[in-house]
Copies of this chain bind each other. A is one copy, B any other.
């Protein structure tokens, strides 16, 4: 099933895999840091390029920096694909898609003339920083948080749903009480006001004008102020549970690059590759035995 490569090529791939996907050797760490710097620079270029004064003055520098970085990111992606045994699985994973999104917009500008509007897509390369972060020291912690979020997702969705219902009811109420002059021109506009008030943001662009409207606003604000406790309570309980039951491994699969394995896992949960590089896959032994028979 695997490519049968010459030992030398196999060695190069294995070394590249270690540098790019792991972070336990000096080379791998240097690569991680270089990648962080490149990502931060590319984001800074996008941010500063949106400020008119800087765009006029340093437009050329921004343009060339972006092209150099896009080239580097493209090469990096090719190397990533090269050193994985199942590259298609990687490209379909979250980080593979992020990698593609991070370079596609700039290439599109070259090919399609009017693609300058893809600024937002270009911004998606910010997501790449997550990869680095995960490779560094935070693996356990991030997994803990993701675990707790997964566990509380159902309850937090239910909570959001309830909030939307409360918001809709209060919005309809205020729409009939307050006049359009105060800003309550429609129920959706009232919903905007209700969310601004309930989340305690309070821009002040729409504000109740009548005494009754003010009284209802007080109730809404106190409600929002106190039910902020609900997601906190749910999430706290789940974090406490996650800390108690944590057993994530920092292993990266040499097959598809998948990283969130259980500590007791011996095969990749996504592609079935043998994870323990220090010993031999017992399946191979069995196959060899069968070949001998």
Contact = CB atoms under 8 A, between A and B. Distances in A.
A192 interface: yes
B221 A172 contact: no
Given A158-B142, A232-B228, A203 B200 contact: no
Given A52-B186, A207-B203, A233 B141 contact: no
Contacts of A237: 236, 239-240, 243
Q: Interface residues of A: mostly helix, strand, loop or mixed?
A: helix
Contact of A231 (B200, B226, B234): B226
B229 A231 contact: yes
B195 A148 contact: no
Contact of A205 (B133, B175, B204, B238): B204
Interface in A146-175: 148, 154-161, 163, 165, 168-169, 172-173, 175
A237 to B, nearest CB: 5
Given A43-B168, A141-B154, 9 more contacts: A48-B188, A51-B185, A126-B165, A138-B157, A144-B155, A145-B230, A192-B214, A200-B225, A229-B231
26 contacts: A46-B172, A47-B186, A51-B185, A51-B186, A52-B185, A120-B176, A129-B165, A130-B165, A138-B155, A144-B155, A145-B158, A145-B159, A145-B230, A195-B218, A195-B221, A199-B200, A199-B222, A200-B201, A200-B225, A204-B204, A229-B235, A229-B236, A230-B235, A232-B232, A236-B237, A236-B240
Interface of A: 43, 46-48, 50-52, 117, 119-120, 123-124, 126-127, 129-130, 133, 137-138, 141-142, 144-145, 148, 154-161, 163, 165, 168-169, 172-173, 175-176, 185-189, 191-192, 195-205, 207, 211, 214, 217-218, 221-222, 224-226, 228-241, 243
